[in-house]
Structure 1
Amino acid sequence: MKVLVPVKRVVDHNVKIRVKADGSGVDLANVKMSMNPFDEIAIEEAVRLKEAGTADEVIAVSVGPAQAQDVLRTALAMGADRAILITVDGAVEPLAVAKLLKGVVATEEPGLVILGKQAIDDDCNQTGQMLSALLGWSQATFASEIVLAGGKAKVTREVDGGLQAIEVALPAIVTADLRLNEPRYASLPNIMKAKKKPLDSKTPEDFGVTVAPRLSVLRVEEPAARTAGIKVGSVAELLDKLKTEAGVI
């Protein structure tokens, strides 16, 4: 069984985001980029499935600029067998990504698609669900555990009330949550081996998909600075402020 893992190139999670002076977007000049952390978890899970003998091949795919080869090489160093880059300049909305991934699924015919539940740059949390709808496949989101057996996937999901266990038929779409696993570090020998693994380049035209944005960004602003707190003299005063000033009770 093939496992397809989409990965996204984002601003590294340790970098403090800066907004451009004109408010048109985020300043990416000389900023460290890396693989979306949730996608690292998805790659790790796919590699573990292969190591357990459940999967035969792990394919990493990314939609983005030519520089996204970096995150694909990281995925290959972590254990993916080959990679596909769909080259697109500029931002791509979740629906367009889902349509491109649908084209990749039609070509590769994987039995399972694992992707991060969301990207840390836009936090949309939409691509997995949209891909499931476009394919007509079962979906299990926010997975904290995946067990494959008998043509089905038993997935433990993290929900507001705790944990929920569901069973979905394969092929299926699974989105990875934070506690699914701890991604491995790519060793130097594996990084060197990754340079020789196949990395194919595609374009949206190869899949007949238009990636023109449907939304327009009017302005990007930094959140307001947090103001200093105050001390209250009694519980009664606290309750009064929560009611009259904060409006939370």
Structure 2
Amino acid sequence: MTVLDLRLVLQGYATGIFPMAESRDSEDLFWVEPRERAILPLQRFHVSRSLARRMRSGQFTVTRDRDFAGVLEGCADRPETWINPPIANAMTDLHRLGRAHSIEVWEGGALVGGVYGVRLGRAFFGESMFSRTRDASKVALAWLVARLRAGGFTLLDCQFITDHLASLGAEVVSRDDYVALLSAAVGVSVTGASSAGSSADGSAAAVPREGDFAALEALLDAAGVAGEDGPSGKFITQFLTQTS
């Protein structure tokens, strides 16, 4: 079975490519570099009235990194998937290293939705999401966007556009525009060379700081809503709509 080198995987993300497989049972992998890339501008995430009601209702409990394996399995549990064992193993190993994260959505103790992806610099590469209950994946994505905003991230890569993502504010950019956003977020040029060096005026260029995936907890604590359901859902809704 193919084994993905984690350094190669991270270098791929840093230069604008990512691995996929033809199917769950495929032994082969290929690297993808779309001519156009879907991104979700963090300040333009669209919270519809129905989504806002769902988040405020207390129907769901939302956690982070509590069940990465469950989210990965949920994303792969469909008739056709590009998540084969080598990719699943690589994502699991990146999670152990703190480079891959998941957002879980629970209802009555059951995992009903989630999203996972890879963190690098101030970029988050959304890999996949799933939903077993209406709006569960939208709630997961909303919490992810709030977490990325709170942590100083600048890029949420969605890879390919879908109607679902477009309804939430995702848009398509050219490869050149994506590379510029990516380079600013991870401090690496499309060739893989460090973008830290001398700026146009000869001064040292700053390396982008690492995004803080755990920063949202401080905001929830300060607001007195440390739990991840009910009142915190109201806070996240306000946070997303008031800063849009």
- Smaller-chain TM-score bracket: under 0.3
> Larger relative CO (CA 8 A, sep 6+): 1 or 2?
2
TM-score (norm 2): 0.26
- Structure in which a larger fraction of residues adopt helix: 2
Question: When you count strand as a share of all residues, which structure comes out higher?
Answer: 1
Structure label with greater radius of gyration: 1
